[in-house]
Amino acid sequence: MLQAFGHLPFEWILFAVLAVAGFIAFYAGRMALAAAPVTGGEMGRLHSQPNYHGFFVVMCTIIPAALVFLGYWLIGDNFVRDQLAGELPARIVEGGQLQLSQYIDRLSDYATRRETILTGDALFDAASNRFAQLTGQVRLMTVFLALVVAGGGFHFGRRRINREFRARTFVERGINFLLFLCAAIAIFTTIGVVLSLVFETIRFFTIEGGPTVTGFLFGTDWNAQTGANFGMLPLFFGTLMIAMLAMCVAAPIGLFSAIYLSEYASPRVRTWVKPLLELLAGIPTVVYGFFAATIIAPLVRSGAQWVNALPLVPDNFLAAQPTSALAAGLVMGVMIVPFVSSLSDDVINAVPQTLRDGALAMGATKSETIKQIVMPAALPGVIAALLLAVSRAIGETMIVVMAAGGRALITPDPTSDLTTVTYQIVALLTGDTEFDSAKTISAFALGFVLFGVTLVFNLIALRVVQKYREKYD
């Protein structure tokens, strides 16, 4: 019976228990209120609607039970594993931590798939049986404990109910706390990001075969896949090179589009062109990557070969690689155009109309007004938009993975294939990864640098934008 319990999809049981308990509690709360004697007060008026009393009891019942389940979810499985590891014969335990955990993974897999056929390996069969048994025990205990605390909470909640009881206040406080938790998830996410990056980065610098901090940041040799060379300067160079190429496309096109749309275009043109531009922003980056690799990269290559064939140009002047930084940069630029244009559009529109009127009324032409009055006024916001765009270009992954190539080079030639930080992270972490080799963990160190750099860009940009908004609000 215990084994059977170990096989069931436990999450559903938990939901069922919580749902039933909540349902009962709700009606019990309402009934308790109905049964409560009318005691003086303001002519016996209720402070709160009956439903709130119901919800109050639900809260008292469910929250403790949910906490118990949360506890199970966090530690239950590990508890079973530790217990089982203690019972397994020495020859498996001695195989090392990794092997042991893989063995238990297999057991767990086998047990949860509810296979009834014996594998023939007596130890394995027995162990998987034991695994299911232990899991069943722990789960049974969990449900039991949850029911006990739920019952306690239920009792507590129901006893507090009377006609003057301010159930609504409590329920609303509960709701308020729930809302706060939701908002705090954003903080938890950041904390999670920072902690995981920091821990793995520290591990990277202390692990065997890992580099020193300076060697990592300023080394010029990167070969993480086969060797153990972790000098990230070439990656940094490639990232900046491609981001710069992208900005060379995105900044002028995005800015001029924004200027034209906000200052010149008729409303009809705007209603058509703006969504079309935003369409560019809605296209997934993997599609851009495909476009860059299959259409643009060959064009760049033949262009480079054409240049090489020109008289006076030395042989192999341009690398003319099948994938190139230029192809990735150009397409990334197109991808960022709507980003720059919509941010700058906001910024330009925030410049008060009175400034424009002032200049126009003095006899400035429209372009003079824009160049001499509007753009200088919008400059901080435009710079912030460009910073955000650079941060986006630095963090962009799929385009460079598909179209930029993987060679860690430092060369000013944009037609050669450069690699980037994001490319390397993907290359190091796709496929089967073990979290205990310097190679894998180096991805986290790269991620840490990437996060840090983009964070600085974003914070500066967001701050400038905020200041700018305050100025013209």
Partner 1 sequence: MTDAQPPKSTSPFGSEAAIARLKDRHAAERRFKLYGQLAIGIALSALFVLAYSIISNAAPAFTKHEIVFHLTLDAETVAPNGVEDTQATASNISGFYSLIQDDLRETFPEAATERQLRRELYALVTRLAVLDIARETAETPALIGTTKRFTAPLSDDLDLYLKGGITARRTLTVGQAGRLSVLESGLYSLSDSGPDGFPEFKAKIETDTAADSSVLIRLQDAWFRLEAHSGAMLTLTHLAGALPQLGEQQSAEISALVLFVAQANRAVSDRQIAWAILLQEKGRIRRKQNFDLLTKADSTYPELAGAAAAIVGSIFTMLITAFFAIPVGILAAVYLEEFAPKNRLTNMIEVNINNLAAVPSIIFGLLGAAVFLNFFGMPRSVPLVGGLVLGLLVLPTVIIASRAALKSVPPSIRTAALGLGASKTQAVFHHTLPLAAPGIMTGAIIAMARALGETAPLLLIGMVAFVNEVPTGPDQESTALPVLIYKWFSGAERAWEPMTSAVIVILLVFLILMNLVAVLVRRRFERRW
Partner 2 sequence: MASATPLITPVVRAERTDNPIKIDCRNINVFYADNQAIHDISLLIPDRAVTAFIGPSGCGKSTFLRCLNRMNDTIDIARVDGKIMMDGADINDPAIDPVLLRSRVGMVFQKPNPFPKSIYDNVAYGARIHGLASGKSDLDRIIEKSLHRAGLWEEVKDRLAAPGTSLSGGQQQRLCIARAIAVNPEVILMDEPCSALDPIATARIEELIDELRERYCIVMVTHSMQQAARVSQRTAFFHLGKLIEVGDTETIFTNPTNQRTQDYITGRFG
Q: CB 450 → partner 1: shortest distance, Å? A: 6
Distance from first CA to last CA of the chain, Å, rounded? 69
Q: Which residues contact 110 (CB under 8 A, 6 or more apart)?
A: 119, 124, 128
| 159 vs 471 by CB, closer to partner 2 | 471
Q: Of these, 142, 162, 391, 419, which contacts partner 1 (CB under 8 A)?
A: 391
Cβ-based nearer residue to partner 1, 133 or 342: 342
CB of 191 to partner 2, least distance (A): 40
* Beta carbon of residue 36, minimum distance to partner 1 (angstroms, whole number): 22
Among 107, 134, 304, 359, contact with partner 2 (rule: CB under 8 A): 359
Partner that binds at residue 373, options partner 2, partner 1, none, CB closer than 5 to 8 Å by kind: partner 2
d(CA 92, CA 86) in angstroms, rounded, equals: 11
Considering only the stretches 155-163, 248-256, 362-370, 407-415, report the one whose residues sit in contact with partner 2 under the rule CB under 8 A.
362-370
Is-contact 135 24, C-beta < 8 A?
no
What x/- string results for residues 201 through 240 when contact with partner 1 is judged by CB under 8 A?
----------------------------------------
Applying CB under 8 A, does 271 fall inside the site for partner 2? no
Tell me the torsion sign for CA atoms 420, 422, 427, 429: positive
Q: Which is nearer to partner 1, 90 or 276 (CB)?
A: 276
To the nearest whole angstrom, how small is the minimum distance from the Cβ of residue 278 to partner 2? 22
Site for partner 1, residues 239 to 268, rule: CB under 8 A: 252-257, 259-261, 263-264
Residue 372 interacts, among partner 2, partner 1, none and using kind-specific CB cut-offs from 5 to 8 Å, with partner 2
Q: Which is nearer to partner 2, 286 or 361 (CB)?
A: 361
Compare residues 185 and 361 and give the one whose CB is closer to partner 2: 361
Give the interface segment with partner 1, choosing from 149-157, 170-178, 222-230, 305-313 (CB under 8 A): 170-178
Q: Which does 360 bind (CB under 5 to 8 A by kind): partner 1, partner 2, none?
A: partner 2
Burial label for 289, CB within 10 Å (0-12, 13-18, 19+), is buried
What is the residue type of 440? T
Instruction: Give whole-number Cα distances, 179 to 176, 183, 347, 394, in Å.
Output: 5, 6, 32, 34
Other Cβ atoms closer than 10 A to 272: 11
H helical segments located in 362-437:
366-368, 375-395, 398-403, 421-429
Q: How far apart are CA 6 and CA 416, in angstroms?
A: 57
* Distance, CA of 143 to CA of 134 (rounded, Å): 14
Minimum distance from residue 269 beta carbon to partner 2 (Å): 10
Determine which helix (DSSP H) or strand (DSSP E) holds 338, and give its type and residue range.
Answer: helix 325-350
SS3 238: helix
Considering the rule CB under 8 A, would residue 360 count as an interface residue with partner 2? yes
Rule CB under 8 A: is residue 193 a binding residue for partner 1?
yes
Pick the piece of the chain touching partner 1 (CB under 8 A) from 63-71, 84-92, 180-188, 354-362: 180-188
| CA–CA distances in Å: residue 238 to residues 197, 337, 387 | 22, 21, 18
Residue 6 tokens, joined: 């170990």
Return the residue of 39, 116, 226, 354 that touches partner 2, per CB under 8 A. Answer: 354
| Residues 452-471 close enough to bind partner 1 by CB under 8 A | 454-455, 458-459, 461-462
**CB distance 211 to 205 below 8 Å:** yes
Smaller CB separation from partner 1, 150 or 398: 398
Residue from the set 302, 358, 430, 456 that interacts with partner 2 by CB under 8 A = 358
| Least distance to partner 1, CB of residue 207, Å | 15
Q: Please, are residues 235 and 419 in contact by the beta-carbon 8 Å criterion? A: yes
**CB-nearer residue toward partner 2: 125 or 368:** 368
Q: Which of residues 376-395 bind partner 2 (CB under 8 A)?
A: 376-377
Tokens of 65: 């039970």
Phi (first) and psi of residue 229, to 5 degrees = -100, 115
DSSP 116: -
* Closest CB to partner 1 among residues 67, 462: 462
- Measured between alpha carbons, how far is 440 from 428 in angstroms, rounded to an integer? 6
Q: Is 392 in the site for partner 1 (CB under 8 A)?
A: yes
Residue closer to partner 1 (CB basis): 229 or 458: 458
Place of tokens 């983009």: 454
For partner 1, the binding residue among 125, 164, 346, 368 (CB under 8 A) is 368
| Residue 114 CA neighbour count, 13 Å, CB half | 6
Where along the sequence are the contacts to partner 2 (CB under 8 A)? 266-267, 352, 354-365, 368, 372-373, 376-377
